[in-house]
Amino acid sequence: MEVKIGVQHAPREIVLESGQSVEEVERVVTDALAGKTQLLSLQDEKGRKILVPTERLAYVEIGEPAVRKVGFGTL
């Protein structure tokens, strides 16, 4: 599942593919925003951890990756 994280004062968003379910990611984000933790901590499919200070979060977008269509159209 694709997760996009917007960070305040950063020109680009963080994009990662997570093996966690939508519910797990939503719970982690909600706990971080509720002040239960100082960091938003997510793990990508390759086992890397992404840590973002909760006071710097702008937004978190949780969703399935879009399937890209590649091909040529006929006229």
What pTM, to 2 d.p., does this model score? 0.77
71 belongs to a structural domain: no
Give me the CATH number covering residue 55: 2.30.30
- Domain-embedded: residue 29: yes
Domain membership of residue 10 as a residue range: 2-63
CA neighbor of 37 nearest in space, from 22, 49, 27: 27
pLDDT for 1 equals 87
Tally of domains within the chain: 1
Predicted local confidence at residue 20, as pLDDT? 87
Query: Is residue 23 a contact partner of residue 11, using CB atoms and an 8 Å limit?
Result: no
The residue-averaged pLDDT of 17-33 equals: 91
- Would 72 be classed as within a structural domain? no
pLDDT band, residue 35 (cuts 50/70/90): confident
* 51 is a domain residue: yes
In a domain, 18, yes or no: yes
